[in-house]
Structure 1
């Protein structure tokens, strides 16, 4: 099961050379940042755990990866969602379907009588005993301190690649859901004292909400990544023509990206290149500002999202 040491490829994006960390080439059960965030749980034994609990979107990459983790460990897996859209229930492929095949028990709180307007996290907090060692609760998207373990390994891989490329400075870019990967990656480089600048953008909520997420895990803002503003407001999980067009442009590079996070990431990166006048340095063998984009993996979700885009935009 490949869970580290992914290659880096160079592509031309708007004529500017961008390096891509191919974390989509990790094992498909834990593709992209899920392999990094859940690595601690894969590498360690939990002899008393019998039940895994988490929550989030029914289309989440984390849902599928956690279902694979639970199946490997022999745990019951309960996953709480706010609601499930009809098109997700009708899907025959994708994260939701794959997780159910793996044995996930997906609990739709919109149909639970005792919800009493509680959020998924509040419902779980009230339901699960803090002293029950047989239950392991992993927050939405793996947003917890245990994620540092695998993300630090990602940081080490980037440093090894930097030395091989003889780079003294690097700009790392990735879009953020919970912001966990970007946060712990930025913290790793800053603690090591390396000239690696981590940049991200908010795919869920806005920049202020993302910064609040950072502070809940790491209070010292010196260790936070730089947040690049999204040029236009987009609602997470909805279909947008610019996303679809960007995804098709990216396919021309020979690398398939996911349809949920990566299109927004590349739209924001393109805006960043324009704002910093970097596109005037096109087609250089060695860019003036070397940028490494971390592929978000999650290609299994394209199986359900791509037909929706094709139906809407052709």
Structure 2
């Protein structure tokens, strides 16, 4: 069982922040997805020989499912809407690591185009295709929904919550604020739900990275309709679009990586921008930030940032910037 990731002290915006290092859970299986998928690692699944998932070709869940399947001795098939040509030409990041783990990444658009028996006029989503076309012929397969947004995630997130609660008690802390940026919000929801039900004074705060507040509240309600158990959603000063490159994201990433801890470039920059905005309101409360891993994504995100914001630099200067960033985040 994966548990007891360390807590470190981290200086940010003139405050001491406690950093829950879930990126250090296991060399090959860590972070947010390891917590969400912990149930599948810990339980026995008699007769299962294959793990099936879906998402994007560079998703953190792709690599995490590949690592889970490898640990369990299963084949992993991961369905994607498409695979960009540059990813096929020069595999990097989560895609390359998953392939190295033996995962078959299946391009649904190419599969349908090559299969005369599939009704091509139907606009299949990966989920629909798996449920209707794949699972009926795969009795020994275990299917995990995209990103791990399911009730099974509660098992591993509860373990994380219990670790945080025990740590806070050992430190003699009260009114601990736990902050993490959210995609589907599954981890934030189950964390706060645990603390509320345990009648703890620990509360979870989050911000919407993938969609807006309405999207995040909808995701919460799909797993738990009781809004009294939902985390508080905090906002940045402007609207950001998921996956778009922003200079303030890159600047924040360089700031936080200067601490010597590597962070990822997709969720953490916005997380720390929002955290910095609200920290002055929490003067009397200790604050914990959950490091959710996802570091392999930097292999694709960092070159994108350098291409976009390094155009005015000389070739030598751009190489130096890349070297500095990698040095910060080794």
- TM-score clears 0.5: yes
1:262 positional shift:
0.9
Contact 2:174 2:285 in 1 (8 A): no
1:304 aligns to 2:300 (yes or no):
yes
Equivalent position SS for 1:30: coil
1:184 positional shift:
0.6
1:147 positional shift:
1.1
1:308 positional shift:
2.1
* Partner residue, 1:170: 176
1:60 aligns to 2:59 (yes or no):
yes
Contact 2:206 2:232 in 1 (8 A): yes
Q: Name the TM-score, length of structure 1 as normaliser.
A: 0.90
* Partner residue, 2:79: 80
* Partner residue, 1:282: none
If you compute each CA radius of gyration, which structure gives the higher value, 1 or 2? 2
Using the alignment, how far apart are the partners of 2:191 and 2:140 within structure 1?
31
Q: In the superposition, relative to structure 1, how do residues 253 and 228 fare at CA in structure 2: closer, same or farther (>3 Å)?
A: same
Q: In the superposition, relative to structure 1, how do residues 86 and 201 fare at CA in structure 2: closer, same or farther (>3 Å)?
A: farther
1:110 aligns to 2:109 (yes or no):
yes
* Partner residue, 1:283: none
Counting only pairs closer than 5 Å after superposition, residues 245-264 of structure 1 correspond to structure 2 as 245-264=251-270
The one of 248, 252, 269 aligned to 1:242: 248
Counting only pairs closer than 5 Å after superposition, residues 1-314 of structure 1 correspond to structure 2 as 3-111=2-110, 112-113=112-113, 114=118, 116-129=122-135, 133-273=139-279, 276=281, 287-314=283-310
Using the alignment, how far apart are the partners of 2:141 and 2:12 within structure 1?
46
Using the alignment, how far apart are the partners of 1:107 and 1:185 within structure 2?
33
Q: Name the TM-score, length of structure 2 as normaliser.
A: 0.86
- Higher relative CO (Cα under 8 Å, sequence separation at least 6) belongs to 1
Equivalent position SS for 1:88: helix
Which shifted more, 83-92 or 43-52?
83-92
Q: In the superposition, relative to structure 1, how do residues 133 and 222 fare at CA in structure 2: closer, same or farther (>3 Å)?
A: farther
Contact 1:183 1:214 in 2 (8 A): yes
Gaps of 5+ in 1: 279-286
The Cα offsets for residues 257-300 of structure 1, whole Å up to 9 and x where unpaired, read as 011111111111122235x3x5xxxxxxxx51211100011112
Instruction: Give the aligned CA root-mean-square deviation in angstroms.
Output: 1.9
Contact 1:91 1:304 in 2 (8 A): no
1:307 positional shift:
2.0
Contact 1:23 1:33 in 2 (8 A): yes
The number of equivalent residue pairs is 303
The Cα offsets for residues 171-225 of structure 1, whole Å up to 9 and x where unpaired, read as 1000111211111111111110001110111111211111111111112112111
Q: In the superposition, relative to structure 1, how do residues 269 and 88 fare at CA in structure 2: closer, same or farther (>3 Å)?
A: farther
* Partner residue, 1:281: none
1:130 positional shift:
6.7
Using the alignment, how far apart are the partners of 2:108 and 2:211 within structure 1?
21
Equivalent position SS for 1:167: coil
Using the alignment, how far apart are the partners of 2:137 and 2:224 within structure 1?
25
Which shifted more, 123-132 or 303-312?
123-132
